[in-house]
Structures are given as C-alpha cells and as structure tokens.
C-alpha cells in the first residue's frame, strides 16, 4: 500500500483504490489528506489530531465516508454532523473491525501523561492490515502482533528522546517513519532522528525521514 505523510500526525494510506486517513488535525493539510477518503481513524480529541470542522465538512460532503474515533470524539462529531451519525463509530481498545477494505485492530486506551494537573484523555492506537501502526499520543506497544511499519511520535510535550528510542526498540518494526514533528525546527528534528536511526538500526529497525507530502510503499 502507499503511505503518504502529511504535516504532524496526519498520514494517508491508499490500497486498491481505497483511501484511509489517520489524524487529520489542525497542524496538517487536511483538505489534501481527506480528498477522496473512504475512512478516517482518529486517535484522540486534541486539535492537532482532529480538525473537527474539516472532518465534519468531509463526512457531510460524502455519502459514504466512515469515521472511527474514541467515544468522546465520536459523540462530538455526531453532534455536529446531523444526518451522518450512522457513519461515525466509537472505537475501544482491544477491538477489530474492517473499513474500506482495510483490517483494523485497536490498542491502548489512554493518552500519555503530560502533567499530573492536565487531564488524561482517551487515546486509541490503530494497526492497519497487520502492517502500519499509528499509536496516537502514546507509546503503547501492540501485544501479540508483529508490526511491519511503525509511525513514531518524534516529539511532543509528553515525551523525551529516550522514550522515543525505547518505543522504537520495543516495537522492533522493520520500517519506521516520523509523525508528531510539527513543534520541531530542523536542528531538533535532526538531533532526535539521528538517535532513532542509530539506535533503531541496532535492533533491526530501518528509520527513514519523510517530509510532508512524501510517499512510500509499505
């Protein structure tokens, strides 16, 4: 399948003429990512992962687009997308479902801790076709499966470099690509990716940088 990275945490997958989009948020090129989409997977409620206005417009503008998100996000979207409620689905960890020809497994449950005084929200990680894993804002390692392509949250208010490296080492996917990088300048991105590339290689993971709009086959 074809994987295209957009800014920050948004990724588009294309297979057999069908399109699945992860986390079209306010930091991303949502119009491009959502164009022609058949299904959208949302990991959690933060705006950098879901541009509510863009997603509502997309589901109302299509008679078939399916949206999958944690319960709180699904409820919000249903409230703003009258007439499309039956195409907005709540996802819980430990589930399996199919959409647009893609097979999905869900993992996790909670967003990583930012600070004890900042509430922890629901977060779902998605594994698509036993291949591509998007963890959202967490370092939850999928249990009982082998991930082939890992999307790595490179930088966030809730992580540090050692945790990023340990996540890559823990999953041990053959391929890894960046997400969650919009808050970094070129210097910071190069530094973190250098560590991930070097340490990941010791454990069998080939890490490759992708710029926004760049695509690869996975």
Query: pLDDT per residue over 133-142, tens digit each?
Result: 999 999 999 9
Percent above pLDDT 70 for the chain: 100
**How many domains are contained in the chain?**
1
Q: Which residue has the tokens 């007439």?
A: 83
Write the pLDDT tens digit of every residue in 156-214. Answer: 999 999 999 999 999 999 999 999 999 999 999 999 999 999 999 999 999 999 999 99
Looking at residue 8, its pLDDT comes to 96
Task: Give the pLDDT of residue 2.
Answer: 98
**Cα 154 to Cα 210: distance, rounded to the nearest angstrom:** 12
- 33 band by pLDDT with thresholds 50, 70 and 90: very high
Residues 151 and 39: their CA atoms lie apart, in Å, by 19
Report pLDDT for 127. Answer: 98
| Residue 115 buriedness (CB in 10 A; 0-12 / 13-18 / 19+) | exposed
Question: Between 52-60 and 71-80, two packed helices, what is the crossing angle to 10 degrees?
Answer: 60
Are 101 and 18 in contact, with CB atoms under 8 Å apart? yes
pLDDT confidence of residue 93: 97
Mean pLDDT score, 142-146: 94
Instruction: State residue 200's pLDDT score.
Output: 98
| Among candidate residues 73, 97, 81, the one with its CA nearest the CA of residue 20 | 97
Structure tokens at 111: 């967003």
Query: If you compute the radius of gyration of the chain from its CA atoms, what whole number of angstroms results?
Result: 16
Dihedral pair phi/psi, residue 213, rounded to 5°? 95, -10
Q: Give the domain range for residue 150.
A: 2-217
pLDDT of residue 13: 98
Q: How far is CA 140 from CA 11, 123, 163, 188, 208, in A?
A: 19, 10, 11, 24, 21
- Which among 187, 189, 186 is positioned nearest to 154, based on CA atoms? 189
Pairing assessment for the beta strands 88-90 and 96-99 based on DSSP bridges: unpaired
The CATH number assigned to the domain holding 213 equals 3.60.15.10
pLDDT digits (tens, 9 = 90+) for 82-112: 999 999 999 999 999 999 999 999 999 999 9
pLDDT for res 114: 95
What's the confidence (pLDDT) of residue 100? Answer: 96
Span 21-49, average pLDDT? 97
Q: What is the pLDDT of residue 145?
A: 95
């Amino acid at each position: 399948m074809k994987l295209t990275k957009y800014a920050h945490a948004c990724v588009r997958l294309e297979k057999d003429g069908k399109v699945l989009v992860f986390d079209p948020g306010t930091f991303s090129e949502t119009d491009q990512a959502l164009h022609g989409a058949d299904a959208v997977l949302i990991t959690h409620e933060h705006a950098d992962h879901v541009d509510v206005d863009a997603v509502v417009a997309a589901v109302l503008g299509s008679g078939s687009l399916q949206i999958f998100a944690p319960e709180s996000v699904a409820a919000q979207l249903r409230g703003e997308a009258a007439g499309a409620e039956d195409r907005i689905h709540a996802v819980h960890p430990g589930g399996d479902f199919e959409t647009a020809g893609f097979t999905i497994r869900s993992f996790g449950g909670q967003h990583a801790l930012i600070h004890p005084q900042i509430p922890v929200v629901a977060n779902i990680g998605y594994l698509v076709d036993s291949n591509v894993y998007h963890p959202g804002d967490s370092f939850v390692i999928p249990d009982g499966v082998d991930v082939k392509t890992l999307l790595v949250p490179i930088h966030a208010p809730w992580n540090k470099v050692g945790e990023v490296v340990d996540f890559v080492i823990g999953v041990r996917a053959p391929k890894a690509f960046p997400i969650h990088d919009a808050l970094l300048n070129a210097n910071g991105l190069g530094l973190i990716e250098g560590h991930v590339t070097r340490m990941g290689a010791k454990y069998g993971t080939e890490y490759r940088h992708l710029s926004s709009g760049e695509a690869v086959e996975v």
